[in-house]
Amino acid sequence: INNVGTNIGKTVTDYTAEDVSFLTSTNFESAYNISVLAHPLLKASAAASVVFISSIVGALPIWTAPILGANKGAMNHLAKFLACDWAGDNIRVNVVAPAVIKTPLSQR
């Protein structure tokens, strides 16, 4: 289960290059990297499953989460690709995209 995410609540033009790099590394690249690293182990299993924890902002834009939304949208697309690509290895790939959940991050 790939479950990581954070946000810096700004509008698109207020992000710095460092903000975008940090958010992309955290929200998308980490899920991609762990999936690729785990692939040999998953492939060796009789039946494996990968679950990406995405967000509703990957499908519906929220003005204070444009980079998070882009990252989660990329994650959603990656999951669709992997579901097709890894099906032959008997690896299921799914995405769960919850709405806002009351956490310390969402309360900021």
Residue 8 pLDDT level (bands cut at 50, 70, 90): very high
Residue 13: CB atoms within 10 Å: 6
pLDDT at 96 over 80: yes
Put simply, whether the predicted model's pTM sits higher than 0.85 gets the answer yes
Q: How many Å apart are CA 74 and CA 40, to the nearest integer? A: 23
Q: CA dihedral in degrees (63, 80, 51, 105; nearest 10)?
A: -10
Domain spanning 12-96: CATH superfamily: NAD(P)-binding Rossmann-like Domain (3.40.50.720)
Q: How many Å apart are CA 22 and CA 29, to the nearest integer? A: 10
Give 70-91 pLDDT, tens digit per residue: 999 999 999 999 999 999 999 9
pLDDT of residue 102: 75
pLDDT of residue 45: 94
Domain boundaries, the chain: 12-96
Give the chain's radius of gyration (CA, Å). Answer: 15
**Average pLDDT of the residues in 58-80:** 95
Q: In this structure, which amino acid lies at residue 26?
A: T
